[in-house]
Amino acid sequence: MGAVPRLGSAGEDAALGIAMKFWMVALSVMVAIGCARAQGWQPSAGHKQVAIWPGVAPDAQPTEGPEAVKTTGKEEWVAGVPWVWVNNVSVPTMTVYSPKGKNTGAAMVVFPGGGYQGLAIDLEGTEVCDWLTAKGVTCVLLKYRVPGDLPYPKTTYPKSGPYPESPMALEDAQRTMGLVRLHAKEWGIDPHKVGVLGFSAGGHLVAAISNHFEKRLYASVDAADAQSCRPDFGVAIYPGHLSVSAAKWDADQGAKKFPLKVPAGADEELSVNPDLQVTRETPPQFWLQAENDNVDNVDSLAYYIALKNAKVPTEMHLYAKGGHAFGLRHTKDPITDWPELVDVWMKTIGMVE
């Protein structure tokens, strides 16, 4: 091989020009990303969302585009009112809503649903915080990572999803629990009264963090990660991904495959997802679902049975009608009175007086 020729002045100028163009393009992309983030979902006046990671989040994945916010069309309205859908979330944030009036010291980290593809940010997020703060409970709304509206089945695109298909949402949940306890005194929170509440996919996230708290899924970042990420209680409304049957479906999606250790002869509809290793250390749980849920089968039954077998304090409500994705909005169906049931349950387990 001959010696590599040295560039002359013309070659150096050309190389410099190429390098300058590269950095200009890179800078333009960074500016575009920054603008996109600013144009993403923003909380109401008087509230500020803050990033939960000091730098790049672990297991970061690309999204289809910048964070997007969409108001639903009339065909998707709930109780005659539109709701807001957020997707392409790559920078997870939390927004703290303080109690209005009396402060009970209790707090709830809220996980909106959206099939791990987007977030129903008001229907299952900000409206929940309005209810909780009126009851004297601090609400911490988590905008966890979701990739967008890509078709879920068999895509090779990196995506969020139920753990262990993807660790991102659970990582964000664990991190947020640590941050809440780290700032408990500052925010007027009793660190022993921090619960989680989620809807649909967010309901699965309630179960996931209620059983995956002994060890973080990521390397420790700072003092927040030295705090416990075990919730003191959990509330799940029309959850999914909880039964063996649902776990089998999840395992067949995407590029990653995870072997399921299912006991021989297990009833797949009534046996819990084997990834949810329920133990006596699982915190008290409240579950609610409708038998005519047209999105998720009544997976709550499988989880309820596992909780009872482990002697975990549990309360479950199963209604004949109600469907899916009603949030806190009141309809003709009695199931939408569920906030009153949670109020009573939280008193029963000693989280509020």
Q: What is the pLDDT of residue 183?
A: 98
Residues 6+ apart with CB under 8 A from 91: 37, 51, 57, 67
Poorest-pLDDT segment among 73-82, 201-210, 245-254: 245-254
Domain contains 6? no
* Strands 314-319, 233-237: pairing kind: unpaired
Domain contains 173? yes
Domain contains 353? no
d(CA 16, CA 249): 53
The pLDDT confidence band at residue 210, using thresholds 50, 70 and 90, is very high
d(CA 144, CA 9): 51
* Contact between 132 and 104 (Cβ < 8 Å): no
Q: Are 66 and 31 found together in one domain?
A: no
The pLDDT confidence band at residue 14, using thresholds 50, 70 and 90, is very low
The pLDDT confidence band at residue 15, using thresholds 50, 70 and 90, is very low
Q: Are 137 and 267 found together in one domain?
A: yes
Q: Are 307 and 289 found together in one domain?
A: yes
| Mean pLDDT on 185-190 | 98
Amino acid at 101: G
Poorest-pLDDT segment among 21-30, 32-41, 80-89, 337-346: 21-30
* Helical axes 168-182 vs 201-211, angle rounded to 10°: 70
Higher pLDDT, 171 or 9: 171
Domain contains 179? yes
Number of domains into which the chain is organized: 2
Return the DSSP state at 4: P
Domain contains 216? yes
Q: What is the pLDDT of residue 265?
A: 74
* Strands 118-120, 93-97: pairing kind: unpaired
Q: Are 20 and 118 found together in one domain?
A: no
Q: What is the pLDDT of residue 348?
A: 97
pLDDT at 339 over 90: yes
Q: What is the pLDDT of residue 8?
A: 39
* Strands 93-97, 107-111: pairing kind: unpaired
Q: Are 16 and 58 found together in one domain?
A: no
Domain contains 4? no
d(CA 260, CA 262): 6
Q: What is the pLDDT of residue 253?
A: 66
| Mean pLDDT on 203-212 | 97
Which residue matches tokens 């990572």? Answer: 145
Find the CATH number of the domain harbouring 324.
3.40.50.1820
158 SS3 class: coil
Q: Are 141 and 278 found together in one domain?
A: yes
Q: Are 118 and 15 found together in one domain?
A: no
| E strand intervals along 124-242 | 138-143, 194-199, 233-237
pLDDT at 324 over 60: yes
Average pLDDT over the chain, rounded to whole?
85
Q: Are 29 and 51 found together in one domain?
A: no
Q: Are 177 and 35 found together in one domain?
A: no
The pLDDT confidence band at residue 20, using thresholds 50, 70 and 90, is very low
Residues 6+ apart with CB under 8 A from 134: 100, 101
Q: Are 19 and 56 found together in one domain?
A: no
The pLDDT confidence band at residue 4, using thresholds 50, 70 and 90, is very low
Q: What is the pLDDT of residue 18?
A: 37
pLDDT at 165 over 90: no
Domain contains 233? yes
Q: Are 27 and 94 found together in one domain?
A: no
Q: Are 28 and 131 found together in one domain?
A: no
Q: Which of 286, 304, 325, 82 is nearest to 200 (CA)?
A: 325
| Mean pLDDT on 39-56 | 93
Q: Provide the domain limits for residue 25.
A: 11-40
pLDDT at 300 over 90: no
Q: What is the pLDDT of residue 267?
A: 80
Domain contains 327? yes
